[in-house]
Amino acid sequence: QLQLQESGPGLVKPSETLSLTCTVSGGSISSSSYYWGWIRQPPGKGLEWIGSIYYSGSTYYNPSLKSRVTISVDTSKNQFSLKLSSVTAADTAVYYCARPSMATSDAFDIWGQGTMVTVSS
Amino acid sequence: DIQMTQSPSSLSASVGDRVTITCRASQSISSYLNWYQQKPGKAPKLLIYAASSLQSGVPSRFSGSGSGTDFTLTISSLQPEDFATYYCQQSYSTPVTFGPGTKVDIK
């Protein structure tokens, strides 16, 4: 059974770079049927798609964050990663990794448990 | 970007009630509409994809309908475990976007 697990620092200082990793277990990240994505949710608020990556490295980013976001994949470790630069308090959120599946019309059918990241000095 | 709206933003209902939540897209998204359930402190869970397809393992009391710009999620008989927040999401084009959510709580 495929599982996703986010990891990374829970506290980041303003103006620094937020870095998170999602480890895929129970399956290969190199499957040709799937992209892999990042979604965030500020406390008490709704869901915002950050971006997605194919195992080959093709990426799609939310234009609202594109200038600050980099998503990469490491197939040897079965992981994909998120970097968000120049963070502010507005980037405080629970960050989820998730899998959009072509089998479910690109809906996110598998999610990690989420990791809370606080931006504060 | 395609904007998603939901109504109502919250509702109170009793166990056994029939509940309907509406989602509207700012432009046609065909049937690329998905519904999620989120409980406090948990990740969202996919309920319905492609507007009306029930995700594996999801109880049949959940159903979805609609196409184009107007969609509905129906819970035929609300159960205690269904009290949660529900989000719609369009996967028609990037950036994918979510509705603001509908919170279903106990009357």
Using 50, 70 and 90 to split pLDDT, how confident is the model at A105? confident
Q: How far apart are CA B86 and CA B78, in angstroms?
A: 13
Strand partners, B88: B35
Q: Return the C-alpha torsion angle A48, A50, A53, A57, nearest 10.
A: 170
- Output the DSSP codes for A61-113: E-TTTTTTEEEEEETTTTEEEEEE-S--GGG-EEEEEEEEEGGGTTEEEEE--
CB contact under 8 Å between B53 and A105, yes or no, is yes
Say if CB B73 and CB B23 are below 8 A apart.
yes
Q: How far apart are CA B94 and CA B25, in angstroms?
A: 14
Helix (H), strand (E) at residue A24: strand A18-25
Neighbouring C-alpha atoms within 13 Å toward the C-beta of A95: 28
Return the residue in A35, A62, A106 with the most chain B beta carbons within 10 A, the one to mutate for interface testing.
Answer: A106
Three-state DSSP class for B24?
strand
- Output the DSSP codes for A31-69: -TTBEEEEEEE-TTS--EEEEEEETTS-EEE-TTTTTTE
Per-residue pLDDT of chain B in tens (107 residues, 90 and over written 9) = 999 999 999 999 999 999 999 999 999 999 999 999 999 999 999 999 999 999 999 999 999 999 999 999 999 999 999 999 999 999 999 999 999 999 999 88
Tell me: the pLDDT tens digits for A50-94?
999 998 889 999 999 999 999 999 999 999 999 999 999 999 999
- The closest alpha carbon to A93, from A20, A51, A45, A41, belongs to A41
Q: How far apart are CA B96 and CA A61, in angstroms?
A: 10
Give the distance from residue A63's alpha carbon to the nearest chain B alpha carbon, in angstroms.
7
Work out the average pLDDT over A34-63. 95
Return the residue in A38, A108, A113, A115 with the most chain B beta carbons within 10 A, the one to mutate for interface testing.
Answer: A108
Interface of A with B (CB under 8 A): 46-49, 52, 60-64, 96, 98, 100, 104-109, 111-114
